[in-house]
Chains A and B, each alone.
Chain A
Amino acid sequence: MNDSMVAAEQAAGGADRAPLLEMRDVVKTFPGGVMANDHVDLEVRRGEIHGILGENGAGKSTLMKILYGLYVEDEGEIRLDGERLDITSPADALDVGIGMVHQHFMHVPKFTVVENVVLGLRESAYENPILRFLTRDYSAAIERIRDLTDRYGIDLDPEARVHDLDIGQKQRLEIVKALYRDVDLLVLDEPTAVLPPHETEQMFDILTSLVAEGDLSIIFISHKLDEVTEITDRVTVLRDGRVVDTLATAETTRAELAELMVGQEVLFDVEKEHRAPGDVALSARGITDRDYRGVDLVRNVDLTVREGEIVGLAGVSGNGQAALVESLVGVSEPDAGTISVKGTDLTGKPTRAFIDSGVSYVPADRTNEGSAADLDLTYNVMLKQYRQFRDGPFLDYDAGRALATDLVERFDIQVPDPETPVKHLSGGNLQKLILARELSLDPDVLVANQPTWGLDVGAIKYVHELLLEERDDGTAIFLVSENLDEVLQLSDRIAVIYEGEIVHETTASEADRERIGRYMTEGSNATDPVAQERDQ
């Protein structure tokens, strides 16, 4: 904070609960027409921990990136202590006292903690700018860091090399970076997403301490209900780019927040016949997968999908779905567990074996994984079935083109012309293309991850009808989606994933929307009697 801001605050009477930060009517639209922030209002008061709650795609990240200078808002204004701000870069944000702890850490692993903290500040024994560049003296910085860490109970050694730190320490590094720069407002973006449970408690203690001792205000972005209710004073709920409500945490319940976050709207009614499922088509036992650090992404998951049924996996994005799905389709090998397709054990076999066994996959990332974005329609249509068009070592491209024409017609895919790279297709059409391709393989098992993400209503409806048709045809479908409505409407059986584990399983008829929502956002705590009592 500089002098004129202090003056402004004093002039305003130094009100304790006066808003520190105001974001008014913020609009941000991305190319393609997606309105990530639709006239969002946010107000953060001094000395509070303000939560921003919402699913992925709700607009939380975008809003914070605008605040932090990575994006520039299309409309709207940001005020700090009443003064209008013009933030066009992260450095600007830091200059006015806004610090951000990113979800994907921003640090240089090869440097030490102190080097990371002082990067850009040119700490030196000299005043002269040139000398500050040509020398460095971090002794004062190290002292200051020790001071900060002691004061707030943060466990971090200034001289440790960052790539030796564990994940909790790396996150604390991010916090210390902000503290060192004397921020007034600290924004934490999904801070507990990467932490094991016991570290979360530590983090909360630090946050409480920061507010109490350090006179900081905090914005806490999350999709995890239990954490938001534990640590925040007030919470703003975002959904589909808009603010649903802003409430005092003490005056609401987790159930209410879940409802606000996940929504009650039913998109449309889909006719679903009741069918008796057939034989087991896909069977996974004990799937465990770890990342390169050794952190569990998926823990001991068992799944069964039968012919002619849709098993839906509900869960907020980032709880292990990607790793699980990649194991199921053979794109990556799990660290433990077995996978069988139609009775044959395919664990450890190459992707090709899965494809040949009748497994089709619609990945969440349409442009980088689901398609070869620079290539045209024909290439993308032939991506998996090109082997069927082999004539010796040669490839019958004419047959491929014929298939492409056929699929374009059958699935009503809008393409400007067959030669354009598919990256120019709209999201909906690209997804239709991918589905068309996968389904034309006549699969026995179809695994679809977030298949309607980012699509307009018409396209969503189309995809849903397609999936149901396949199910009626006898295909076993495993649907992963964070859109609870979608899962509820389409699935015969439902499972909920939270932090890599299946925490709830139920059938379509017995599914309780509210309960499932709770499992999605709290995990197994959803049935915790103590927690339930707290909510009465």
Chain B
Amino acid sequence: MNVETSLEYRNETPRWLGWAVPVLTVLAALTVGALPILLAQTDPITVYLTMFLDPLTSDYRTGQILTRATPLILAGLAVYLPLKAGLWNVGAEGQIYVGGIGAAVVALTVDAGIVVLLPLTLLAGALLGALWGFVPGYLLARWNANEIVTTLMLVFVAQNLNSYMIRSVLPGPSNYPYTETFPDTAVLPPLAESGILSHVHAGVLFVPIAAAAVYVIMDRTAFGFETTVFGSSQAAAEQSGMSRFKIIVVTMTIGGLLAGAAGVSQAAGTGGRLSEAISPGYGFTAIIIALLGRRGVPQVLAAGAFFALIYVGGNAVSTSTGLSTAIIDVVQALIFLFLITGEFFKRFTVDVRVTRDTAEVV
């Protein structure tokens, strides 16, 4: 008896699969995620309800969603843009760190009024993030150095650099893993005195700006056109006179800049100082966000908001049930896992046949 599995490329992805996959992905992930929760002798339903509904019940928590959505969406856009050109920016995490470093350096060393200092702080972080995107982009465009490896390596360079800055260059109160607090003139203030918005700092304003910018770039400019074509076929792009070098370098640099802005938002907003824990893996979550939101900016926004909900909900779960916050990572990873599996079914039809042995070749 033979079991034959044959794979065939689908000619067309049925429409329903297009949106069914993300939805089914999440459902499957939650189902499997229930297992470790059960193992911890906790009720999964309670956990999921807490995770998804609880954050919406208090001003503080809802504010937290917006706060966390900021770096998630920005980093998501940072991966999304190069992805449109067919490139992998796996280093958004490092670009976030570096954005924070840039902001901290300016905030803690330059003496000026808020009108000058705050924009300068933001600029410094964004530029350093841009550099962190530029280098891998240049190395790829010029010397064909694989951008997955280079962006990834720079993540750990950035993390170490961050620790170095905190411990040795801009130390805070003795031996704590963060710098001094930024002066008021370099901090992103809360948006309002009370209500939900009092728990949200001005960094959230980056999101609509960045989202609009990325949307305009990709959907309205000539450069966005070139990037889309390049992402579909490098040969067609080059034969149409487009510059491979320009497209690679610019998309990677803007990507870095966006993630750098996320870092600035973390440092100058939440906490108002540079910390070693500036990002709990937002840059990696950004990869999932960019994949879920691959079709367009609104989808990236939705995916980013969704994961922000998971992060805040996860913390709520941790507080109320005592489960480790690592549950967030587990759920994310499972969503990721099922997303990949779902992608497979979109691309191929699987045919499993069981046959009997036919006469063999003599």
Q: Which residues of A contact B (CB under 8 A)?
A: 2, 4-5, 31, 83, 85-87, 92, 95-96, 329, 331, 350-352, 354-356, 361, 363, 365, 368-375, 379, 382-384, 386-387, 390, 393-395, 397, 424
Is there an interface contact between A351 and B232, defined as CB atoms closer than 8 Å? no
A371 and B362 contacting across the interface, CB-CB below 8 Å = no
Closest residue of B by beta carbon distance from A31: B11
Q: Is the CB of B228 within 8 A of A375?
A: yes
Q: Are A372 and B237 touching (Cβ within 8 A)?
A: yes
Q: Within the complex, what minimum Cβ distance (angstroms) separates A156 from chain B? A: 30
Q: B232 contacts which of A85, A350, A374, A390 (Cβ < 8 Å)?
A: A374
CB-CB under 8 A from B237, the residues of chain A are: 372
Least CB distance from A388 to B in Å reads 10
Whether B352 is near chain A, meaning CB under 8 Å from some CB there, is no
The answer to whether A373 touches B232, judged by C-beta atoms less than 8 angstroms apart, is yes
Measured CA separation A343–B238 after assembly (Å): 25
Q: Given the known A-B contacts A355-B241, A393-B221, A395-B222, are A383 and B358 also in contact in the complex, defined by CB atoms under 8 Å? A: no
Q: Does B229 contact A (CB under 8 A)?
A: yes
Bound complex: CA A379 to CA B227 (Å): 12
CA of A393 to CA of B220 in the docked complex: distance in angstroms?
A: 9
CB–CB A395/B225 < 8 A: yes
Establish whether residues A351 and B220, one from each chain, have CB atoms under 8 Å apart when the complex forms. no
B233: A residues at CB distance < 8 A: 368-369, 371-374
Are B359's CB and A86's CB within 8 A? Answer: yes
A424 touches B241 (CB 8 A): no
- Say if the beta carbon of B12 comes within 8 Å of chain A: yes
Q: Which residues of A contact B12 (CB under 8 A)?
A: 424
Q: How many A-B pairs with Cβ below 8 Å? A: 85
B361 is an interface residue with CB less than 8 A from chain A:
yes
Q: 13 pairs across A/B with beta carbons < 8 Å?
A: A83-B362, A331-B239, A351-B238, A351-B239, A356-B241, A370-B236, A371-B233, A372-B228, A375-B228, A382-B225, A386-B225, A394-B221, A424-B12
Contacts of B360 in A (CB 8 A): 86
> Shortest distance in angstroms between A327's beta carbon and chain B's nearest beta carbon?
13
Q: How large is the interface on B (under 10, 10 to 19, 20 to 34, 35 or more residues)?
A: 20 to 34
B223 interface hit (Cβ, 8 Å): yes
A361-B228 in contact (CB<8A): no
- In the complex formed, the residue of B with least CB distance to A385 is B240
B235 interfacial by beta-carbon distance below 8 Å: yes
A246 and B345 CA atoms in complex are apart in Å by: 47
Question: Contact: A86 with B361, CB < 8 Å?
Answer: yes
Q: Nearest Cβ in chain A — how far from B5, in angstroms?
A: 14
Query: Shortest beta-carbon distance, B312 to chain A, in Å?
Result: 36
Give the chain B neighbours of A369 by CB distance below 8 A.
Answer: 233, 235-236, 239
Check B362 against A4 for contact (C-beta < 8 Å).
yes
Are the C-beta atoms of B222 and A386 separated by less than 8 Å?
A: yes
* Contacts A368-B233, A369-B236, A379-B228 supplied; 20 other A-B pairs, CB < 8 Å: A2-B362, A83-B362, A351-B238, A352-B241, A361-B239, A363-B239, A368-B235, A368-B236, A370-B236, A372-B228, A372-B232, A372-B237, A375-B229, A382-B225, A386-B222, A395-B220, A395-B222, A395-B224, A395-B225, A397-B220
Q: In the assembly, what is the distance between CA of A383 and CA of B239, in Å?
A: 9
Known: A368-B235, A393-B223. A351 touches B362 (CB 8 A): no
